[in-house]
Structure 1
Amino acid sequence: MRLIVVSGRSGSGKSTALNVLEDHGYYCIDNLPAGLLIDLAERTLASNDLLYPKIAVSIDARNLPGQLERFPELLQEVRSRNIRCDVVFLDADDETLLKRFSETRRKHPLTSEERSLAEAIADEGKVLGAISDLCDLKVDTTSLNLYQLKDLLKLRLLDEPEPGTAFLIESFGFKRGVPIDADVVFDVRCLPNPYWKPEIRSFSGLEQPVIDYLSAQPEVDEMFTDIFTYLSKWLPRFAASNRSYVTVAIGCTGGHHRSVYLAEKTANALKNTLRNVQVRHRDLHG
């Protein structure tokens, strides 16, 4: 049995996450009272035919505060039954959440005559603190549209050919911000930039002209060797600590050339020794 708990602040994409999981065979329950999590797990395990071996539930600020405070002990109790339970927390910056609610004109679950929308958004982060602190995977949806979010969730939650820690090597551009869900960040902006070569500027780090240019630069090879050496040593330690998801972010200025090239090269090299190595280019088409 696999159980996925989806949580996060309102407007961050929880409904989209449940829809993705439902489309891929999960039995989904929205707004489950946290206190029922153990009962749900026990009833599912007690079923003779295990009709729903894959279940996803949403637990968010609509719960009673006392139940949310109990979440750490509830999660530990579920996992003590040898149930694989992953906690996914979706979030976005306050400005983005405020804009999303203003555009959709939905009522935030924590707003009232005494509490404005901005205050409700800020307070919700505190209410969900116990879940956020224990999440296995945190997803920043600030800069993602609906289709990008769906693709990311499929990659992280569903593309797991083997059990164990799922490692994501992600390229990004610093001009669009550092991924807040990254566990390790490498800055490669000091390397020669293909952008200043007009004849190859329009190509990406996935295409041969840029690959040929960067592979010929000694500094790039040195950077790759250092990154690979570090990750080869320490990523297995992450896995040994029972981490379900680890994100390694490699960033250059725009996220089109150097970071893309090094993310691909690093991921391919790591696949020789690690299982479940994934690669994603956050800003390549942005």
Structure 2
Amino acid sequence: MQLVIISGLSGAGKTVALKQYEDLGYFCIDNLPLALVSHMATRTLRTMQKRYERLAVGIDARETPGEIRKFPRYLDKLRDQGIETRVLFLRANEQTLLHRYSDTRRKHPLSNDQTPLLEAIRQEVRLLEPIANAADATIDTSTLNLHELREKILEQAPGGGAGKLTLQLMSFGFKQGTPSEADFVFDVRCLPNPHWEPTLRAMTGRDDAVSAWLDRYPEVRRMLSDIRSFLEHWLPEYQKQDRAYLTIAIGCTGGKHRSVYLVEQLAKALGGHYTPIIVKHREIWAGQERRGRKGKS
């Protein structure tokens, strides 16, 4: 299993980091006691629960000082069990943290009537020193905006952020309405319709006979080429904006022939560039999803 422990100074961006790992497919838990981190990781190894194979845990100043001092021992124990463990620590300078707390008007976890904000920040630096010293990667967020911070987090994530954009290709029928989750909708009702061919009516766009029939029309090939070109040009721009999920919906009248065929062809064409790709045929699978391409069902 993969375990990422995310820690850092309050206001330095730990919540953003956890959200970024969640978008990368990690099961994320904030403020899990260190003793339970070890217990949960051990149990996951023993039971092989796939849900927790990639786990990101937030640890901060809310943990007890005694437990934080024991952090290096907890880390050694995890790694001795064969758990691939990585520690990410986020920091920022005092002036930046003071400014951020002033902007958000949030209360620092260590501040109180006897401890002003600046002293609370300095106490936290000392408190979290055992974690900071054990970090595999440290990000200083003092001069980073939100977009730059996300990029930095992705750069040091296992895999370097590869595959951060999950692409869903969905076919649907306009008779049943446009899918609300779609980011892009392509209307292909202008294309020749296999529905009017008696031998093809009961089939779908995943059947070879329907594919061969559609493929002989230049306008079908041109539509496929144009949609593919559009996606190949613009999807990288969405990746740059840290989009975790993008749904491309292609619709025909009934959602069983033309749209299904085009989604299948696009999945083949884009599969080598974007992983994972989720293929969903709304009308013929009644809402079921299929990951990857494992042959016809």
Which SS does the other structure have where 2:56 is aligned? strand
TM-score of the superposed pair, with normalisation by structure 2: 0.53
Cα distance in 2 between the residues matched to 1:40 and 1:49: 11
Relative distance call for 1:83 and 1:64 in structure 2 (3 A) is same
Q: How far apart are residue 148 of structure 1 and its match?
A: 0.7
* TM-score in terms of structure 1 length: 0.55
Say if 2:25 is the partner of 1:25.
yes
Q: How does 1:170-249 map to 2 (within 5 A)?
A: none
Alpha-carbon separation, structure 1, partners of 2:42 and 2:108: 32
Corresponding residue of 2:198: none
Does 2:152 align with 1:157? no
Q: Show structure 1 runs of 5+ residues with no match.
A: 163-286
Deviation per CA, 1:201-229: give whole Å up to 9, x if none. Answer: xxxxxxxxxxxxxxxxxxxxxxxxxxxxx
Change (3 A) 1:21 1:161: closer
- Alignment partner of 1:13 is 2:13: yes
1:70 aligns with 2:70: yes
Q: Distance in 1 between matches of 2:23 and 2:50?
A: 19
Question: Equivalents in 2 of 1:73, 1:119: separation in Å?
Answer: 28
1:147–1:3 CA distance, 2 compared to 1 (3 A): same
CA apart distance, 1:51? 2.4
SS for the counterpart of 1:51 is helix
For residue 6 of structure 1, what is the amino acid of its counterpart? I
Give how far 1:109 is off.
0.2
1:141 aligns with 2:138: no
Residue 96 of structure 2 aligns to a residue whose secondary structure is helix
- The offset of 1:156, in angstroms, is 1.4
The runs of at least 4 aligned residues of structure 1 exceeding 3 Å deviation read 158-162
- What's the CA shift string for 1:164-198, capped at 9, x where partnerless? xxxxxxxxxxxxxxxxxxxxxxxxxxxxxxxxxxx
Structure 2 CA distance for aligned equivalents of residues 45 and 127 of structure 1: 31
Unaligned runs of 5+ in 2: 163-297
Residue of structure 2 in register with 1:258 after alignment: none
Distance 1:158 1:21 in 2: 10
In structure 2, the CA distance between the partners of 1:137 and 1:48, relative to structure 1 (3 Å rule), is closer
Q: How many residues align?
A: 162
Residue equivalent to 1:38: 38
